[in-house]
């Protein structure tokens, strides 16, 4: 019961790593609050999590919706102990693809802007909304989802990598700015993890991911959730401003 009674907010908590994290925190006694754009999946999730959980439908891009979410949580629970900024999307494409001298395909502006808005600005919006409450209560933990590709790079992911590298930078800035208020800020960088998105990929691509991972397998969402749980717990009380890789030893590009 390492997070017993801690009010824990998880964006994108209705599926994948977010849902696994919600389940893991609930197992350890937290009061879990899921935020997601998927109403049906969110309601199904809290049925699995039990009576101490709740679901709010909102979009991390919308600052008013985010602010209303935080105020709703504070009205119900009176505090926020942990924020897990997990919500994120992929819109992969090459920067530019040429055939001879002709550009035949490239990442579109809309693909770039959408990923930036959700994966990067969404993290900013949620953290800025929750920080005043944590400052007033004199404690808190903020955990941000980055990725190994934000550290190593990866072909076809200019937009995604820009967000995940940016999240690492914001994590380090916020650790410095908020540490004086006893607020810890860390990031988790998963490697190839067996979520719904990966399961839909062709088998040869999945096999390539396994081969490139020194442990010889994909990660499980629960293994990433365990990292969030550790960083939220008092066992990590002197850890802030760090990025914890949970990646099976992979270095992208090797």
Rounded to whole angstroms, the Cα distance separating 186 from 238 reads 11
The model scores a pTM over 0.85: yes
- C-alpha span between 33 and 18 (Å, rounded): 11
Question: What confidence tier does 171 reach under pLDDT thresholds 50, 70, 90?
Answer: very high
Confidence band for 39, pLDDT divided at 50, 70 and 90: very high
Query: For 48-95, what is each residue's pLDDT tens digit?
Result: 998 989 999 999 999 999 999 999 999 999 999 999 999 999 999 999
Give mean pLDDT, residues 27-56: 95
Provide the percentage of residues in the chain whose pLDDT is more than 90.
85
Per-residue pLDDT tens over the stretch 113-165: 999 999 999 999 999 999 999 999 999 999 999 999 999 888 889 999 999 99
In this prediction, residue 203 has a pLDDT band, given cuts at 50, 70 and 90, of confident
What's the pLDDT at 253? 67
Sheet of 183-190, strands arranged across: 54-57, 31-36, 7-11, 82-85, 140-145, 183-190, 243-246
The confidence score (pLDDT) of residue 254 equals 55
Q: At what angle do helices 63-77 and 122-137 cross, to 10 degrees?
A: 30
Active site residues per annotation: 160
Picking from 13, 6, 115, the residue whose alpha carbon sits closest to that of residue 69 is 13
Q: What is the pLDDT of residues 223-239, one digit of tens each?
A: 999 999 999 999 999 99
* pLDDT digits 0-9 by tens, 11-27: 999 999 999 999 999 99
What integer pLDDT is reported at residue 210 of this predicted model?
87
Domains in the chain with CATH codes: 7-246 (3.40.50.720)
Closest C-alpha to 171, from 188, 192, 158 = 188
């Amino acid at each position: 019961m390492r997070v017993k009674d801690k009010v824990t907010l998880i964006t994108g908590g209705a599926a994948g790593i977010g849902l696994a994290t919600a389940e893991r925190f609930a197992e350890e006694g937290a009061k879990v609050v899921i935020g997601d754009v998927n109403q049906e999946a969110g309601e199904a999730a809290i049925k699995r999590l039990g009576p101490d959980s709740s679901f709010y439908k909102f979009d991390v891009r919308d600052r008013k919706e985010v602010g209303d979410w935080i105020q709703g949580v504070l009205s119900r629970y009176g505090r926020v102990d942990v924020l897990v900024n997990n919500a994120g999307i992929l819109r992969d494409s090459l920067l530019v693809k040429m055939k001879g001298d002709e550009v035949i395909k490239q990442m579109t502006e809309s693909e770039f802007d959408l990923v930036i808005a959700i994966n990067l600005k969404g993290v900013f919006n949620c953290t800025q909304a929750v920080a005043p409450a944590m400052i007033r209560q004199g404690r808190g933990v903020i955990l941000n989802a980055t990725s190994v590709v934000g550290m190593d790079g990866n072909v076809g992911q200019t937009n995604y990598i820009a967000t995940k590298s940016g999240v690492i930078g914001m994590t380090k800035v916020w650790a410095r700015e908020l540490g004086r208020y006893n607020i810890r800020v860390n990031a988790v960088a998963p490697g190839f993890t067996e979520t719904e998105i990966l399961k839909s990929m062709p088998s040869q691509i999945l096999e390539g991911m396994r081969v490139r991972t020194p442990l010889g397998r994909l990660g499980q969402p629960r293994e990433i959730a365990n990292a969030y749980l550790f960083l939220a717990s008092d066992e990590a009380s002197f850890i802030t401003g760090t990025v914890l890789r949970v990646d099976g030893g992979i270095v992208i590009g090797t």
